[in-house]
Amino acid sequence: MIIKPVDKNIKKPVLLKQVLKFFNPQPNQNFIDCTLGQGGHALVILERIAPHGKLLGIDFEILVKPQPRLILVQDNFANLKQIIEKHNFKNIEGVLFDLGFSNWQLEESGRGFSFKKDEPLDMRFARTGVTAQEILNQWPEQELEKIFRLYGEEKQSKSISRDVIANRPLETTQDLAKLIYAWKSKARIFQALRIAVNKELENLEKALPQAMSLTEKVAAISFHSLEDRIIKNYFKTNIFSQEHCAKLRVWQKINTKLN
Ligand SMILES: C[S@@+](CC[C@H](N)C(=O)[O-])C[C@H]1O[C@@H](n2cnc3c(N)ncnc32)[C@H](O)[C@@H]1O
């Protein structure tokens, strides 16, 4: 099977083939992509569900150009049910979550997601709410240590949080990056802050049961062990799960009447 994103500038998602294999999108079906990003999954699915199938794409910020049969929704996927009711979106074949941040956010947003750049410590997907800078400069040491340890799974969380407190105020990504010695730790601390700023785990916990109540097929891609744990907790007796590979979990109801 040859898969090419519709727009050549879009990087092909790593698990596109597996997602398509699971959903097996057919003409005139409807899908939801809860993490639209640059449309790497959505635009391929949209092509396959032509001529009348619709795709509802949700993201905190919309980077995909409007086009026929694509419903663009700038919102938090934690509001999934409200969103589909508002758009009267029905007969949903499958719901996709591709968790985390996009390449565009990392490389081009200028919002401090990368420890390799020198940018303001913002890290907000939605451009509202508390910034990474506010967390670093205002939260108590124990809270910083907790998010570094839990969300970043960082062994040096104690000494790094101590160094943050001692070097306040921090304004840019380099102010933070230079306090952390190892590259892997830099990545883990930046990840932890991003998860805290965007309440990523809370949003996932709210969205998964909503998604599963809407359709027979839900797929979630995650590269973070805490997200994966949340996802695993939603296995239910009437839901058949398969794993195509370590980072993709999928559900397919085997008997919807049991609901
Ligand atoms: C890994 S990227 C998705 C990439 C996309 N599948 C593609 O192929 O271009 C994750 C996206 O999810 C969005 N996102 C993360 N949490 C969200 C939430 N709670 N509600 C809406 N969008 C969210 C981010 O803004 C980001 O664009």
The tens digit of pLDDT for each residue in 144-153 reads 999 999 999 9
Backbone angle region of 75, left / alpha / beta, with phi > 0 → left and psi within -120 to 50 → alpha: beta
Q: By alpha-carbon position, which residue is closest to atom 22 of ligand 1?
A: 59
Quote the pLDDT of residue 257: 38
Give this complex's ipTM. Answer: 0.99
Architecture of domain 127-197: Orthogonal Bundle (1.10)
Between the CA of 162 and the centroid of ligand 1 the distance, in Å, is 32
| Binding-site residue positions | 39-41, 59, 77, 98, 105
93 lines ligand 1 (CB under 6 A): no
Q: How far is the CA of 166 from the centre of ligand 1 (A)?
A: 34
Q: For 42-67, what is each residue's pLDDT tens digit? A: 999 999 999 999 999 999 999 999 99
Query: Mean per-residue pLDDT for 148-172?
Result: 97
Residue 217, SS3? strand
Tokens of 55: 């795709």
Q: Which of the four CATH numbers 3.40.50.150, 2.40.50.140, 3.40.50.2300, 3.40.140.10 does domain 16-103+200-258 have? A: 3.40.50.150
Tell me how far the alpha carbon of residue 59 lies from the centroid of ligand 1, in angstroms: 6
Write out the H or E segment, with its range, that includes residue 33.
Answer: strand 30-33
- The mean pLDDT of 68-84, rounded to a whole number, is 98
Token digits for 175?
A: 């102010």
- Report the nearest-CA residue for atom 7 of ligand 1: 40
pLDDT higher than 60, residue 2? no
User: Higher-confidence residue: 227 or 52?
Assistant: 52
Instruction: Return the amino acid letter for 151.
Output: Y
Torsion of CA 66, 113, 232, 256, to 10 degrees: -10
CATH 1.10.150.170 occupies which residues in the chain? Answer: 127-197
The segment(s) of the chain belonging to CATH 3.40.50.150 are: 16-103+200-258
Going by C-alpha positions, the residue among 112, 101, 126, 111 that lies closest to residue 38 is 101
Copy the structure tokens of residue 58: 């949700």
